[in-house]
Structure 1
């Protein structure tokens, strides 16, 4: 009779240890009051959480299991839960606007981001999409993120570090322009998936095509129909991609109370468009399109170096971004 030698227990994936067990010091906890209002706090020994109706002690939560209740000094009972990733990205510090969970989930699914994949992302913003991609590729994959602004990169790193508990080993953040830095960062034909969340993704198609493996997926997240049209036409003109597909999603919650079952008055409407295409094998030309652009199509290629304001986006205050970057940098030193 032979026996197998004892195998060392596999180490937990990055961040998994923070998703189970009792609440610990320094952890973010989401409190829900009797009216369904949410409050997110970071547990600090000796600290108190105050509202206009009493306060509760952080020490009463530290060491308690996930899904506990705690009562404040005014007798108000709160439900305490760990924030899900979708909760965290909606409440974390942000400089740039975040990719909403409904869009991040579709990006991971429709781009078929798999464990061990090599994924290129540009730009990083506040790190919301980066965390979903890191979850999908796991510790054995790679997420190579490119961001033009160093302050945004600092905010993204700080948000991800707080969520995972450490700097994720699969993540590399490069400050610089994707077109200039990607060729030096990866070998041609070595990237499985590319996700572009930027103002002018059509400017990157050549370097993206070189980096992608045959059959690799490119998915772009754009805010306006103008951007959507230009990405689609650029992908067709390139000749190395399949016919692009585009869509948007809107999520409407429902009110559930007794017989009062009806749609909620508020909903997550348009946040952005998603457009996806796949890399053709070298030397392959796409099949001839049977449909032609409408006569009213206008080429906007004469617009050079578009800004966020050109597409109707509200600019982010530099003062706010610097403040967030300093704040997250200070937290990493604790």
Structure 2
């Protein structure tokens, strides 16, 4: 039985063409691709690539300046943060939340828009496997080219489950019986009609937005379209900790706000969502609110 796409690049001794991540004594990372006959140079000296080719992962190499470097393959979070970028990448903490709370499973049929630099596409492809389907839409051709190069560099070849289309999702979406839809775009509410027709009952829509105004517009639009259960919005933050003996304290820096996530489940056709019982805060839909339903009066009935 053949190995899944990219698996051979994740295990075994280092080979020519593998990416290597070096860690110096201060914890700084340096990533490069192994090539026979080449040398790796730093301000602390150099060493030949050949010293690592055939060596097991987790080896330690020393430069001509006698500085030790730990050699490992970069993890997927390391890879996406160092990959060439066209658009900003989806941070690993958000990609992990998407995989978990959008319930991305092996064999899932997933639609994604937009592809950016290919970071989230790589996470999704590794989760769905070769038996799944990921159809990514990106309106900018230059971003699509960068994303394709990044995805293929990670897996070592084109992924058989991936299809990339240059164009707007709402104008080009032809997929049906889709299990999951992930929208990473400026105005995800513009795609809700097309997405609702593609998703299977019980399927999940997941939107990734940057600002509170986008978050509000997305959530209210999902409510207004009427074929989704109550949307769930949230954000996540990561704070590392310093642990050394009895000196245990949070780090001074953390990965704070990067984006908001919203998930919603597709209802069966012809079913109306249950009436929300939570009364909105006073003024939530006041004179200054100009989102979905503001002119139709639909917001007034949300209590």
Identify the match of residue 24 of structure 2 among 19, 33, 39. Answer: 33
In structure 1, the residue matched to 2:202 is 215
What SS does the aligned partner of 1:131 have? helix
Identify the match of residue 270 of structure 2 among 280, 283, 303. Answer: 283
Shift of 1:21: 0.8
Identify the match of residue 221 of structure 2 among 234, 237, 257. Answer: 234
What SS does the aligned partner of 1:219 have? strand
The number of aligned residues is 289
Per-residue CA shift, 1:267-292, capped at 9, x if unaligned? Answer: 10000000110100000000111235
In structure 1, the residue matched to 2:51 is 60
Shift of 1:161: 0.5
In structure 2, C-alpha distance between the alignment counterparts of 1:174 and 1:292, rounded to whole Å: 42
In structure 2, C-alpha distance between the alignment counterparts of 1:86 and 1:33, rounded to whole Å: 19
Structure 1: 4+ residue segments shifted above 6 A: none
Shift of 1:26: 1.6
In structure 2, the residue matched to 1:118 is 109
Verify the 8 A CA contact 2:220 2:291 in the aligned structure 1: no
What SS does the aligned partner of 1:158 have? helix
What SS does the aligned partner of 1:88 have? helix
In structure 2, the residue matched to 1:225 is 212
In structure 1, C-alpha distance between the alignment counterparts of 2:196 and 2:292, rounded to whole Å: 20
Shift of 1:296: 4.0
In structure 1, the residue matched to 2:2 is 11
Pairwise CA RMSD of aligned residues?
A: 1.3
In structure 2, the residue matched to 1:323 is none
In structure 1, the residue matched to 2:68 is 77
In structure 2, the residue matched to 1:186 is 175
Shift of 1:127: 0.5
What SS does the aligned partner of 2:207 have? strand
Shift of 1:261: 2.0
Per the normalisation by structure 2, the TM-score is 0.93
In structure 2, C-alpha distance between the alignment counterparts of 1:13 and 1:86, rounded to whole Å: 20
Verify the 8 A CA contact 2:60 2:71 in the aligned structure 1: yes
In structure 1, the residue matched to 2:41 is 50
Identify the match of residue 99 of structure 2 among 86, 103, 108. Answer: 108
In structure 1, the residue matched to 2:182 is 195
Per the normalisation by structure 1, the TM-score is 0.84
In structure 2, the residue matched to 1:140 is 131
Please list every run of 5 or more consecutive structure 2 residues that lacks an aligned counterpart in the other structure.
294-303
In structure 1, the residue matched to 2:296 is none
In structure 1, C-alpha distance between the alignment counterparts of 2:30 and 2:241, rounded to whole Å: 21
Shift of 1:35: 1.1
In structure 2, C-alpha distance between the alignment counterparts of 1:292 and 1:199, rounded to whole Å: 29
What SS does the aligned partner of 1:146 have? strand
Shift of 1:258: 2.7
In structure 1, the residue matched to 2:298 is none
What SS does the aligned partner of 1:291 have? coil
In structure 1, C-alpha distance between the alignment counterparts of 2:89 and 2:276, rounded to whole Å: 35
Q: Does 1:273 align with 2:260?
A: yes
In structure 2, the residue matched to 1:314 is none
In structure 2, C-alpha distance between the alignment counterparts of 1:292 and 1:208, rounded to whole Å: 29
